[in-house]
Structure 1
């Protein structure tokens, strides 16, 4: 569960301790406040506390050498709760009464601008400029499509217990149950070959419009067979900030058309790296004696994403390099950024899985 996080830091003016949990609960209440933007003055004390926690967290997460995991988690949870309003979850319509709130947009930008600067600083952006993008992309794909098994992958394959497997599935359900939804945000506009590739990819992920064959349905089946909750976000409190950051980053690059090339690069890496990334999970399931239904999500992705990676390279990334020669380096940037986000996320998830493995059943 999300542990209470009260930091022993006192604000000079209010003498109130920073408490991320309390601020997040207040924020959740704001989301369903009727006509939020018209009642900001009435809610000033609550809003001031939320913003104070956000400002403190921004400094702790992005403006200190080591960063602070509690601050990262708080900020990514706030961003996630704002971003999820862009997708319809078939829940109460009241959940969306503030989806166009200017205040929420301002708050998102307040966090996102600093976070994205921090993220981009992790990469040598200049190294992607002035090079043969097509050659560099081919080299990266060749290296990443079937990399050597890492220590963590060997752990999943050879040591993972059923408790760890259940933790892995629980954390993965946050994204797995709404998988590929963000692709839909890129499909508007003038029809073209790239648009057609993305549409084909979306249709594959959505089972050609047949719910039973939608990839997220396979995840539901896994959860059901393991006796776990199937409701979206049921295990939200188990999700590390690194995975939330990966999800929130996808909202950044899909919602802003100026980031389209970065999105294509990121999606390319995501699709081509899935089969090698999931094979250790599949192997763990077989070693543990799980049924095909209890590993079905891994199985279907290993099967189809090899083809999806080829589509993204041959039919999307390479044609876009020809169309946007001056900006094509952003495809490399998006590729490497997604690789970095994914690596960081997998390490955090593995740590959480290992902790579950240590629990005596």
Structure 2
């Protein structure tokens, strides 16, 4: 994975909102009216892609798009309108636990007869399923840990120290070759995928975009710092068992050593991170700001909601023998075991 100074190309539009945002970034058109945003499907392709484009300006940006547009007042106004629609739907649709302890407790319980995506890939997945999964997830994993880093200046004491410790591991512990985004790019190489940042944006489904947008939404708003901590907890606590199943899937299909290593690394690292997140990050945050407990619960449960929606989409397509991608991948892969 070489560093691309230009950033990815702007994506193809999926409706009037994403088209208007794209055209504004190109300098060729007006932004959408507030009433058009308010009427949009909060989980649909058009709104999610429009929001993703707005958020990406805070990460690597897009090729040919002026970096100063990150703080364009009119674009921020539209982003805020998109966020309000998305957040309102999340608050309405998320089945919220009564307490942080209850929400975290449920994360710690592994289902006896699991039927999620990692179970499917471990037991029945073929290489084409694994390639699609990696292509979809690349929109996050090629910037792994970046959305969570936004919360660091908004924390204090134990919460900040614990969060920084976990992020340090995610960024390779000071070693560029162990940065988790780098390890995921190596996984993609084993699977014969293009490792360019943002390469599969046009192919990713709306449900995947929502999982990435959720962490950007929480991370970019200081008022939602509790929700970002909840999201981070949900990811870290559930990562180790899921990664173990995905590592088994990579081994069973002969995906390649780097593909196996990425998930093996997460099995070990995230088992440790789970303890730090529970006791230091959540514990430290609520010790300083106990009033944020409902937001932590929202972050945990909203993560479950968007991940369940993604799982339903992937499994529905795969069980029917269909591609889960809007733009299917070429059939050949370069790796041979």
TM-score, normalised by the number of residues in structure 1: 0.78
- Is 1:219–1:296's contact at 8 Å kept on the other side of the alignment? no
CA RMSD of aligned residues (A): 3.0
Single out whichever of 148-157 and 250-259 deviates more from structure 2.
Answer: 148-157
203, 215, 226: which one pairs with 1:261? 226
User: In the superposition, relative to structure 1, how do residues 79 and 188 fare at CA in structure 2: closer, same or farther (>3 Å)?
Assistant: same
- Is 1:160–1:284's contact at 8 Å kept on the other side of the alignment? yes
91, 96, 100: which one pairs with 1:120? 91
- What secondary structure sits across from 2:202 in the alignment? helix
317, 323, 329: which one pairs with 1:356? 323
Query: 1:305: Cα distance to partner?
Result: 0.8
Query: 1:22: Cα distance to partner?
Result: 6.8
Q: Which stretches in structure 2 are left out of the alignment for 5+ residues?
A: 1-11, 332-337
For residue 70 of structure 2, what is the aligned residue in structure 1? 99
Query: 1:25: Cα distance to partner?
Result: 4.5
Q: How does 1:132-151 map to 2 (within 5 A)?
A: 133=99, 135-137=101-103, 139-143=105-109, 148-150=113-115
For residue 29 of structure 1, what is the aligned residue in structure 2? 23
- Is 1:194–1:316's contact at 8 Å kept on the other side of the alignment? yes
RCO comparison, higher one (Cα < 8 Å, 6+): 2
Task: Please list the CA deviations of residues 291-331 of structure 1 after superposition, one character each: whole Å capped at 9, or x if unmatched.
Answer: 22132222211221111111100111123333333442322
| In 2: Cα distance, 1:165 partner to 1:200 partner | 30
Task: Please list the CA deviations of residues 73-115 of structure 1 after superposition, one character each: whole Å capped at 9, or x if unmatched.
Answer: 11111101110111236x7685413111011001111111122
For residue 51 of structure 1, what is the aligned residue in structure 2? 32
| In 1: Cα distance, 2:265 partner to 2:77 partner | 40
- Is 1:170–1:235's contact at 8 Å kept on the other side of the alignment? yes
For residue 239 of structure 1, what is the aligned residue in structure 2? 204
- What secondary structure sits across from 1:143 in the alignment? coil
Higher helix share: 1
Please say if 1:304 is aligned against 2:269.
yes
- Is 1:215–1:300's contact at 8 Å kept on the other side of the alignment? no
17, 41, 48: which one pairs with 1:76? 48
- Is 1:265–1:330's contact at 8 Å kept on the other side of the alignment? yes
TM-score, normalised by the number of residues in structure 2: 0.83
Q: How does 1:212-231 map to 2 (within 5 A)?
A: 212-231=177-196
